Structure 1
Amino acid sequence: MTLLAPLITGFMRDYMPRQRGYSPHSCEAYAYSFRLLFAFAAKRIRTMPSQLHIEQLDAALILDFLVHIERERGNGATTRNLRLAAIKTFMRYVEYQVPSALEQIGQIHAIPVKRHDQKLIRHLIMVEVRAILNAPDLTTRLGVRDRAMMHLCFAAGLRVSELVGAMMANLSLQRPPSLLVLGKGRKERCLPLWKETAADLRAWLTLRGSVRVPELFVNAEGTPMTRAGFEYVLEKHARAAAETCPSLRGRSISPHQLRHSCAVIMLQATHDIRKVALWLGHADIRTTEVYLRMDPTEKLEAVEAVVPPELRRGRFKAPDALIASLLADISPPPA
């Protein structure tokens, strides 16, 4: 029997960050998945998590765990598949550490992902984006900061982690203005900025002050802006914008909806899914294809480009009302 604790420690502290180069955010997401799994396994086996053995994490237990997070925690199929992906990644690491568990690990790898409905993702139209960006009070320091944050998130199509992680050193307001972004998988991309976005950033930099942190955006205490902090700022201004934009009423606006909105507007302008993928920093263009399902203009162009078949036309002649009533009254003879 092989203790689990040394294996997960080596996986989280050496394999992921050093050997594979995973970002701190990815390591945190994996760690959360394992906390859930180990707490479930310890309760099921009636032991302490630190006393678990890798041999106890068999395919049957993993399947029970996946059912548990769906039924008890209310997780959807997408979250369930993410937890399973984290477990399989860990098991690939265990293959080299504990060769005797290869058969057990092979059974876990055979657990399929769960298929689910892929609904259209929600996004904002330009009128709604404009209403949200106009909501902050530009006569205050925090209002100027909020406008600059939301404008940059939308215009650059940033993930919230990319926004709060944006560095002063990576922003250039010289012509043409641009921002160097460190995205998923440690992939850098350089994004040019609209002059309107650059103007909002210049306004914020004049009020930012001598804050001793490298991040571009800071909170009221002068420390780096957090994900939760930006989500609060966006939700606050979305509620204010709903007073002048009725379509925003009753909706919960997330930072990722600004990213989706940028992608849809860019696709409508360029009609090139490859440019959208490049802008968003997608490693696989199949990830970007979801926006093709969202944008009806692409389908309208396809319909207009096809010549419909010429069909013979006829005219329907309704039967006489008296004859129709007699036919309805006739019942079939009994068998």
Structure 2
Amino acid sequence: MAMKWRNALKDYQLYLQIERGLSKNSISSYSLDVEKLIDYLEVNNISASPISINSEAIQQFIYDVAKNLNARSQSRIISGLRSFFNYLVFEDYRKDNPLELIESPKIGRKLPDTLSESEIDQLINAIDLSTPEGERNRAMLETLYGCGLRVSELINLKISDLFFDEGFIKVTGKGDKQRFVPIVKVTQKYINIYKSEIRNHMIIQDGYEDTLFLNRRGKQLTRAMVFTIIKQLAEKIGLKKSISPHTFRHSFATHMLQNNADLRSIQLMLGHESITTTEIYVHLDRGHLTKVVEKYHPRK
């Protein structure tokens, strides 16, 4: 039975990759929800195949697994499974989606915590610059915030992607889409310090010669490592907010908006496919919109 599930999951992953053009990270997060269901069926000796499983079994799974999760995580699992069964319906393996009648818990569009400019300064000032990692971490956080990057974009940044004379960096985003993002002089300065004073003296492993930010073994950093660096700095300054690398990207967008940058420009810099994703940031700052209307409305 598990074999049938694994095969269906493999087909689904191929579909996500080829037809939907999703990145490895997105595919693995979609797959995780299905894997949780497979594990649950195995542990509970439930012999339902992807084609025969019904709403009751799914409802029981969601109830058992989700009772320990918050509304956002429950919603995530439900939408991940709904997408998997939609694929099976689409391929004519099933007539119906067993999640059709299962409601997702209502969640508000909760925005991640935003850091103020002074909190970002405090975090960066807390870095111990007496260590080689300190210089690297300062350059990384300045880039994360200064260019509004995703953590995967930061760790994949190449030296050949830096166009400092033109004032841009080339960023490879979701689905391997490339965009050029402006980089200010101060961020360039910290990257140059790290490159010339730290990176130049490292033993670099084969294949990582062009990777900008390296761990102490001369290889690419992991996403988890960047999370850890940020968590430790937050603890060091006693910051009570829940922050991650994404908080820097979110703060970049919010601060740009507060300083009157237009949404379209922010969308281009963040590499959002759709302006509606960027519009989430506007909910943050209604005061900004009022000012825009007062300033630009023809009937004022």
Normalising by structure 1, what TM-score?
Answer: 0.77
Letter in 2 for 1:170: D
The answer (yes or no) to whether the contact 1:42–1:52 under 8 Å persists in 2 is no
Residue correspondence of structure 1 range 83-94 to structure 2 within 5 A: 83-94=77-88
The answer (yes or no) to whether the contact 1:170–1:181 under 8 Å persists in 2 is yes
Q: Deviations over 1:2-45 (max 9, x none)?
A: 93332222222x3222343321111221222122111122334x
Quote the residue 2:169 is aligned against.
Answer: 179
Shift of 1:96: 4.9
CA–CA distance in 2 between the matches of 1:67 and 1:18? 33
Change (3 A) 1:252 1:110: closer
The answer (yes or no) to whether the contact 2:168–2:182 under 8 Å persists in 1 is yes
CA–CA distance in 1 between the matches of 2:285 and 2:234? 23
Q: Deviations over 1:33-62 (max 9, x none)?
A: 122111122334x15xxx651234222222
Quote the residue 2:298 is aligned against.
Answer: none
Quote the residue 1:295 is aligned against.
Answer: 285
Residue correspondence of structure 1 range 116-265 to structure 2 within 5 A: 116-173=107-164, 175-206=165-196, 207-208=198-199, 209-212=202-205, 213=208, 214-240=210-236, 242=237, 249-265=239-255
CA–CA distance in 1 between the matches of 2:256 and 2:168? 17
SS at match of 1:54: coil
Quote the residue 1:269 is aligned against.
Answer: 259
Letter in 2 for 1:24: K
Normalising by structure 2, what TM-score?
Answer: 0.85
2:66 aligned with 1:53, yes or no?
A: no
State the identity %.
28
Shift of 1:271: 4.3
Letter in 1 for 2:30: Y
CA–CA distance in 2 between the matches of 1:96 and 1:253? 39
The answer (yes or no) to whether the contact 1:164–1:226 under 8 Å persists in 2 is yes
The answer (yes or no) to whether the contact 1:176–1:193 under 8 Å persists in 2 is no
Shift of 1:249: 3.5
The answer (yes or no) to whether the contact 2:203–2:217 under 8 Å persists in 1 is no
2:1 aligned with 1:3, yes or no?
A: no
Q: Deviations over 1:193-215 (max 9, x none)?
A: 01000111111111213523143
**How many aligned positions are there?**
289
Quote the residue 2:28 is aligned against.
Answer: 28
Shift of 1:276: 1.8
Letter in 2 for 1:265: H
Change (3 A) 1:152 1:271: closer
Structure 1 gaps, min length 5: 243-247, 306-335
CA–CA distance in 2 between the matches of 1:210 and 1:172? 24
CA–CA distance in 2 between the matches of 1:298 and 1:146? 32
Letter in 2 for 1:85: S
After superposition, the CA RMSD in angstroms is 2.6
Letter in 2 for 1:8: L
Shift of 1:138: 2.9
CA–CA distance in 1 between the matches of 2:159 and 2:178? 15
Shift of 1:291: 1.7
Quote the residue 1:77 is aligned against.
Answer: 71
Structure 2 gaps, min length 5: 296-300
SS at match of 1:289: helix
Q: Deviations over 1:53-98 (max 9, x none)?
A: 12342222222322333213x2x22222222222222223323544
Instruction: Find the structure with the greater CA-based Rg.
Output: 1
Residue correspondence of structure 1 range 33-44 to structure 2 within 5 A: 33-44=33-44
Among 97, 115, 125, the alignment partner of 2:106 is: 115
Among 246, 261, 270, the alignment partner of 1:280 is: 270
CA–CA distance in 1 between the matches of 2:265 and 2:30? 31
The answer (yes or no) to whether the contact 2:30–2:80 under 8 Å persists in 1 is yes
